[in-house]
Structure 1
Amino acid sequence: MKFLLSVLSVIIFSLNSFAQDINQHPVQLLSGPMVGHTTSSEANIWIETDKPAEVKIHYWVESGSRPIERGVANGRTNEDEPHTGVVELTNVPSGGTVHYELEIDGRPIRPQTIQSFTLLPEEDSFVDFKVAFASCMNPSRIPLQPIWTQVAVFDPDAFFLIGDNNYMPNSAEEYETSESTVKYAMGRYHRFLRDVPGLRTVLATTPTYGIWDDHDYGPNNSDRTFEWRELSLDLFKKYWPNPAAGTSDTPGIFYSFKIADVEFFMMDDRYHRDPNNAPDRKTMLGEQQLAWLKDQLQASTATFKVIVNGHTMSIDRKGSGEYWANFGTEREDFLNWMFSENIEGVFFLSGDWHVGSLSRVDFSDEGYPLYELISSNAGVHTVEADAHQYSRNRAVTGHNRNFDGPIVNDLDVYNFGLLEFSGDENDRSVVLKLIDHRGEVRVAHLLSQEDLRKM
């Protein structure tokens, strides 16, 4: 009997110890690091852990012209799931490469990729820099996406993911479940994007900014009537360390920021959108977001003002309810306002269509040509129907399109966009490029600041 009691005591002790070990296992890094909003002296590093944790970023700055400088920044991941967090690096010496390492609850985390980046140029400076952008990634369908190797090779100073960054369930019926289930699934879709090989390296080495389109907001062609839009907005803000998300008066994911003498206006085309099938649809952006955009454009002193949206803004696609011109007179009114207010230097970036193209629309004799660079299909299959429909529907109703750049719509060819800004203060220009997954430049067009002024 004593022997059996002794054995039983050992078993109970072992089980208690095992349970205690499980409860006290070291915090795990689930996702990241990702470099978020960055300036000439500050940067945000985003991570996700499996439970709340203290986070330290140890970093050192290598400039090549002065002694190495070291620093450490502290932060914490959220108490509630998802346990995401941002560590802010401040007063970082400019002009060098920032190398960094993670420490979670006092435990060093071995990097899974290179962890270094360069601070962005000072606002209002006139320097050369590059920005890359992409849209339409479906990691569950295409887990190996070759485009990210080429993005890294072209080494942009900043990187934008502009919508359909992941593909959540496509039909509205799939969201007819509990809030906890929807929250769980949405969080995993955001996280799995950051596990894509190659993209992980881009995110850890390049200041990255995001907006959404329908597939990473909710079901296909979703709008303001989506049942879980507040939950989707909350999760997006937790997974994307952007400089802002909407305003104190107007919810959404829209924001703006500057790199050198260029200002980027990142739009939200889902949260306020009228349903595509509504008989009286009037708005894609919503009255308050549109008022914000006008205020920001009027106040901007940037040479180039780049409006970035998940879906096309200047181009029409016949037969589709998604394009901006299908929402009453909102687009016409905005563009007429823009030219009447003499807002110079505007062009557009967009995605969604699973092709790449550069288009020019001569909207008004009172303004200048509207250029829109579409980069889509970074990680989805372009099917023959998509390519054919896009080619057939490029005509713009009611306006003269006298320039059509090449279309990148080859089957199973992936692409990303690249903007190369250069020139002196009074002679700035940008080259708009589309590059495929083999590194071939498929589209290249030079725009000078004079091209985006009234004729």
Structure 2
Amino acid sequence: MKLSQLLFCLISTFVFAQNKNLLQSGPMLGYSEMKEVLIWAQTTQEAEIYIKYKKKGTDVYFQSDKIKTSKNNGYTAKLLADNVTEGTEYEYDLFINNKKVSVNYPTVFQTKKLWQWRTDAPDFSVALGSCNYINEPELDRPGKGYGDNYEIFTSINAKKPNIMLWLGDNTYLREADWDTRNGIYHRYTHSRSVKEIQPLLASAINLAIWDDHDFGPNDGDRSFINKHITQQAFKDFWGNKFYGLDKNQEQGVCSMYSWSDVDFFLLDDRFFKSPNNRKTGERTILGKEQLEWLLDALSNSKATFKLICIGGQVLNSADVFENYATYKEEREYLLNQIKENNIRGVLFLTGDRHHSELSALKRDGTYTLYDWTVSPLTSGVSKSGAKENNTNRVEGSYFTERNFGMIHFSGNKENRQMKLVLHNVNGEPLWEKVISAKELK
């Protein structure tokens, strides 16, 4: 090999390695619509970043706007693929400082299909889980690491879900983190950077809610002084369509998303929550504005299935920890309003408890309400639920091991159903249940 060729190879190798080292985590898919798709990424330092994308099977590339990452938002960037058509699969590449970043897993996305008035609703699948603890020994409590089995993300990705639904405690703020902006952004960065999670981020739509550990301290509530900082970090690190109900999106992280014939109501159970030990005043988890918005949105929804996603358990009857049963008046108001407004197709999806179970609330004159709790992904397992008197627990649905859930939506208009399957770390099925749309009418 000539000296000039050798130098070229060495320089190319150095530039590639240097460029790859500029990628901290991602790329990650956020929301996908018919005319635009959001793609997120994080760099290790200030850099210019963009994507190029093309329809599968073609050679015509489109390019997003270029964004310069900065320390102010944790070197994160949200890139829009806005030259897309509905119902189409795309391949995309990430570029940092005008150099393509190569990864050893697929980077693909699909735009939302225009199916209404044309065909039956498209079949699709959703993966879900909560309580994701990534160890950092220097800042963790002494002893064995609380997190483990990161390979669960490889198992989830192997199921090829269209959507990954993160049900709170997606990152665990530590004592060293929640008092400062620098600590909060460090924790979000650390949790997002684990290598096993990257392929899942790159090819499934990722939607998220938060719970206490990605909001602030354990059992955090509206009194948390840094809640606007953690809110901004949540907005910087996730790709939901919107955050909060106020016009400037400065109050909470409530959101909503639709795919096929399913509406996802992504609730905020922390920003407006009254303290657990407050004895006076109105006790609330959602707050009046968010609660009334939820009821309005549910009443307006035409979706076959309406998935209400909230950190804590809703239908567990045990008045313990932060179950909604400890906020009786608001819980009863919500459940009664769903009944009185004849809102059909509701399923609660919850996390938090470090065990999994299905709760079923049978009501006179209407359908049975279900609450599927799926927890934990990688954090520690708790067996305290076995001692609880949850009179609504479905026999055989209680599991105390690291796990994730899958919901498969399928069938024509007359026979639409969702199949709930709980999987262990290796992706093997533990439990399943089929709920038809007819049951929820």
Per the alignment, residue 6 of structure 1 pairs with none
Amino acid at match of 1:380: S
Partners of 1:337 and 1:95 lie apart in 2 by 36
Displacement, 1:48? 1.8
Contact 1:144 1:196 in 2 (8 A): no
Going from structure 1 to structure 2, the CA distance change for 1:176 and 1:342 (only over 3 Å counts) comes to closer
Contact 1:39 1:122 in 2 (8 A): no
Amino acid at match of 1:104: I
Amino acid at match of 1:155: K
Greater Cα shift, 209-218 or 272-281? 272-281
Per the alignment, residue 368 of structure 1 pairs with 367
Deviation string, structure 1 residues 407-434 (Cα, Å, up to 9, x no partner): 111xxx3211111001112321101111
Structure (1 or 2) with the larger CA radius of gyration: 1
Partners of 2:257 and 2:149 lie apart in 1 by 32
TM-score normalized with structure 2 length: 0.87
1:134 equivalent to 2:125? Answer: no
Going from structure 1 to structure 2, the CA distance change for 1:168 and 1:175 (only over 3 Å counts) comes to closer
Partners of 1:113 and 1:432 lie apart in 2 by 27
Deviation string, structure 1 residues 370-403 (Cα, Å, up to 9, x no partner): 1111111110121xxx21x20121424xxxx373
Counterpart of 1:426 in 2: which secondary structure?
A: helix
Displacement, 1:106? 1.8
Going from structure 1 to structure 2, the CA distance change for 1:77 and 1:162 (only over 3 Å counts) comes to farther
Partners of 1:289 and 1:239 lie apart in 2 by 22
Going from structure 1 to structure 2, the CA distance change for 1:207 and 1:277 (only over 3 Å counts) comes to same
Displacement, 1:122? 3.8
Counterpart of 2:77 in 1: which secondary structure?
A: strand
Partners of 1:390 and 1:31 lie apart in 2 by 35
Going from structure 1 to structure 2, the CA distance change for 1:237 and 1:373 (only over 3 Å counts) comes to same
Amino acid at match of 2:421: K
Counterpart of 2:276 in 1: which secondary structure?
A: coil
Deviation string, structure 1 residues 4-29 (Cα, Å, up to 9, x no partner): xxxxxxxxxxxxxxxxxxxxx97922
Going from structure 1 to structure 2, the CA distance change for 1:311 and 1:176 (only over 3 Å counts) comes to closer
Partners of 2:231 and 2:385 lie apart in 1 by 30
Deviation string, structure 1 residues 319-349 (Cα, Å, up to 9, x no partner): 32x1112124001011111111100000111
Partners of 1:96 and 1:211 lie apart in 2 by 27
Displacement, 1:143? 5.9
Per the alignment, residue 397 of structure 2 pairs with 406
Per the alignment, residue 14 of structure 2 pairs with none
Deviation string, structure 1 residues 74-116 (Cα, Å, up to 9, x no partner): 2314542422211100232444432211112322223264322
Partners of 1:406 and 1:81 lie apart in 2 by 41
Per the alignment, residue 31 of structure 1 pairs with 25
Partners of 2:295 and 2:344 lie apart in 1 by 13
Contact 2:178 2:217 in 1 (8 A): no
Per the alignment, residue 3 of structure 1 pairs with none
Contact 2:149 2:425 in 1 (8 A): no
Deviation string, structure 1 residues 210-268 (Cα, Å, up to 9, x no partner): 11100111010000001111111111111111100012257111111110111000010
Partners of 2:274 and 2:162 lie apart in 1 by 36
Contact 1:361 1:403 in 2 (8 A): no
Per the alignment, residue 168 of structure 2 pairs with 163
Per the alignment, residue 17 of structure 1 pairs with none
Counterpart of 2:263 in 1: which secondary structure?
A: strand
Per the alignment, residue 51 of structure 2 pairs with 57
Gaps of 5+ in 1: 1-24
Contact 2:33 2:86 in 1 (8 A): no
Question: How many equivalent residue pairs?
Answer: 406
1:327 equivalent to 2:332? Answer: no
Contact 1:246 1:255 in 2 (8 A): yes
Contact 1:44 1:241 in 2 (8 A): yes
Going from structure 1 to structure 2, the CA distance change for 1:440 and 1:278 (only over 3 Å counts) comes to same
Deviation string, structure 1 residues 258-291 (Cα, Å, up to 9, x no partner): 1011100001000000001111351000001101
Per the alignment, residue 150 of structure 1 pairs with 155
Counterpart of 2:190 in 1: which secondary structure?
A: helix
Counterpart of 1:256 in 2: which secondary structure?
A: strand
Contact 2:168 2:211 in 1 (8 A): yes
Per the alignment, residue 46 of structure 1 pairs with 40
Gaps of 5+ in 2: 1-17, 136-144
Going from structure 1 to structure 2, the CA distance change for 1:191 and 1:112 (only over 3 Å counts) comes to farther
Contact 2:312 2:351 in 1 (8 A): yes
Per the alignment, residue 12 of structure 2 pairs with none
Contact 1:257 1:264 in 2 (8 A): yes
Contact 1:42 1:92 in 2 (8 A): yes
Going from structure 1 to structure 2, the CA distance change for 1:200 and 1:290 (only over 3 Å counts) comes to same
Per the alignment, residue 252 of structure 2 pairs with 252
Going from structure 1 to structure 2, the CA distance change for 1:222 and 1:48 (only over 3 Å counts) comes to same
Aligned mate of 2:233, from 222, 235, 251: 235
Partners of 2:225 and 2:299 lie apart in 1 by 35
Going from structure 1 to structure 2, the CA distance change for 1:282 and 1:424 (only over 3 Å counts) comes to same
Going from structure 1 to structure 2, the CA distance change for 1:68 and 1:372 (only over 3 Å counts) comes to farther
Partners of 2:215 and 2:42 lie apart in 1 by 20
Per the alignment, residue 111 of structure 2 pairs with 119
Per the alignment, residue 404 of structure 2 pairs with 416
Per the alignment, residue 213 of structure 2 pairs with 215
Going from structure 1 to structure 2, the CA distance change for 1:334 and 1:370 (only over 3 Å counts) comes to same
Contact 1:35 1:205 in 2 (8 A): yes
Partners of 2:178 and 2:100 lie apart in 1 by 42
Work out the percentage of aligned pairs sharing the same amino acid.
30
- Which runs of at least 4 in structure 1 moved beyond 6 Å after TM superposition? none
Deviation string, structure 1 residues 135-173 (Cα, Å, up to 9, x no partner): 111111436512112111111011111111111125xxx
TM-score normalized with structure 1 length: 0.84
1:312 equivalent to 2:313? Answer: yes
